Amino acid sequence: MSLLGIRGSFFDFIDDPWKHVGAESEAARFLADGLLVVEDGIIRAFGPFADVSPAYADIEVRHFPDRLILPGFIDGHIHFPQTRMLGSYGEQLLPWLKKWVIPEELRYKDPAYAREGAARFFDALLASGTTTCQAFTTASPVSTEAFFEEASRRNVRVIAGLTGIDKNVPEDFTDTPENFYADSTRLIARYHRNGRNLYAITPRFALGASEALMSACERLKLEHPDCWVNTHISENPAECRGVMELFPDCPDYLAVYESYGLVGPKFSGGHGVWLSDGEFRRLSQAGAALTFCPCSNLFLGSGLFRLGRATDPEHRVRLSFGSDIGGGNRFSMLNVLDDAYKVGMCNATLLDGSVDPARRDPAEAERNKLSPYRAFWSITLGGAEGLYIDDMLGNFEPGKEADFVVLDWNGGPAALPWRQSMVLEGKRPHSMEEAAGLLFGLMTVADERAVDETWVMGRRLYKRA
């Protein structure tokens, strides 16, 4: 048995801030001087230092007096084999896949390249404060194995799966539905719930799937109902048109996945930029999730995700936020929040009636405003709820896994410390509002330089140089 105490200022969430319009801080929890007690990687106790410490008088305590400690960030949609092609120039989704993604992902058939890619991926992830991700691999099982092996070595909780594609790309990039089914079955047996690994049945997207590949996914989900399902949906207009031609019997994009029994709890559709109101409603009723990937949607020019529509209490859709590396150009979830905030502000303008009076909707405009509460909930507890892993992690509740990030609120560009001094009364935050003000500064002005340390299952895996 190993016990360790972490002392410092803690910020986490106990509820969804979109349920507390006008009083969002009620969804959050801030301890100016708290103690987190970790036993064998699991949180045993959490609360104000003065209350918790007497019962743990003899344990080793690490003290972080000038830091904010948050649950580790969750990236709900990322492509591990696209780590090297960050910032690939000049194309929208479909030509970008052809020009940049396919040549790079083909390299992951080579076990040595796949191992190096996986190691570099996790280095970048942890340096960004991200402790859990849901990842795409490639159509080659070599890459999927390399990913799970590296995740296991570091004991990081991940969701991932062999990424099926058998249409609309060159033949050497495809797999057959039979191979996909057989390899997925083998990989599920080997990795699903082995250590912290979780398996997602992963059709890459409907535009790359034959009916036979979709049927293989349906069969896998029926045979392994405990597995996750991860894919893309309604990212780009040309992609959406192509899907409607490929599946003419389906009235819309979501109906493709529905007709193969994939849409329910533990389903994640990346992007959802062009979904109809009816599709939002059906996702909500099914308990399925979308992943908001603003860096990617801006970088590839895909469009503006309607955050205020997805969070409509009448048909609330579960959400996680994702970097979508390398469609997204930043690993840091702080940068994802930065772009999400800007997308929300643009949506709010479109909904204030000044562009089109018929679209005026002040309540939806308000739901697009990404306050620091909504933002950091979305990449911690909210992301965990979207991925159905909030029973394991997402906040500092005892019994959960001790994944957390130690943030330096002055870490970032030269202009940051003076900006942060605007919201700090003393040397460190003493109120929830001060802490939230610092976090908003981090998400809009900083980047991964703010990450001082990243801890996974009570072990430090990253320390800033």
**Positions that interact with Zn ion (CB under 5 A):** 270, 324
Of 242 and 437, which CB lies nearer to ligand GUN in the complex structure? 242
Distance CA 387, CA 382 (A): 9
Dig out the tokens for 212 from the structure. 């036979």
* Strands 318-321 and 404-407, sheet pairing: unpaired
**330 part of the interface to ligand GUN, by CB under 6 A:** no
CB of 326 to ligand GUN, least distance (A): 8
93 vs 198 by CB, closer to ligand GUN = 93
Restricted to residues 282-321, the positions that interact with ligand GUN (CB under 6 A) are 296
**Residue 280: which of 258, 241, 309, 302 has the closest Cα?**
309
The residue among 68 and 97 lying less far from ligand GUN, judged by its C-beta, is 97
Stretch that binds ligand GUN, among 93-101, 180-188, 378-386, 426-434 (CB under 6 A): 93-101
5 forms beta bridges with 37, 61
**Contact flag: residue 101 with ligand GUN (CB under 6 A):** yes
| Per CB under 6 A, 205 contacts ligand GUN | yes
Residue 324 as a binder of ligand GUN (CB under 6 A): the answer is yes
* Comparison of 5 and 322: residue with beta carbon closer to ligand GUN: 322
Provide, rounded to whole angstroms, the least separation between the CB of residue 60 and ligand GUN.
Answer: 44
221 is an interface residue for ligand GUN by CB under 6 A: no
Q: Which is nearer to Zn ion, 202 or 284 (CB)?
A: 202
Q: In angstroms, what is the minimal distance from the CB of 188 to ligand GUN?
A: 22
- Regarding 390 and contact with ligand GUN (CB under 6 A), the answer is no
State the minimum distance, in angstroms, from the CB of residue 231 to ligand GUN. Answer: 8
Closer Cβ to ligand GUN, 230 or 395, answer by number: 230
Of all residues in the shown chain, the one whose CB is closest to Zn ion is 324
Residue nearest to ligand GUN (CB): 327
Sites for ligand GUN among residues 232-251 (CB under 6 A): 232, 235
Minimum distance of ligand GUN from residue 324's CB (angstroms): 5
Nearer to ligand GUN, 164 or 177 (CB): 164
The binding site for ligand GUN (CB under 6 A) comprises 79, 93, 97, 101, 204-205, 232, 235, 296, 324, 327
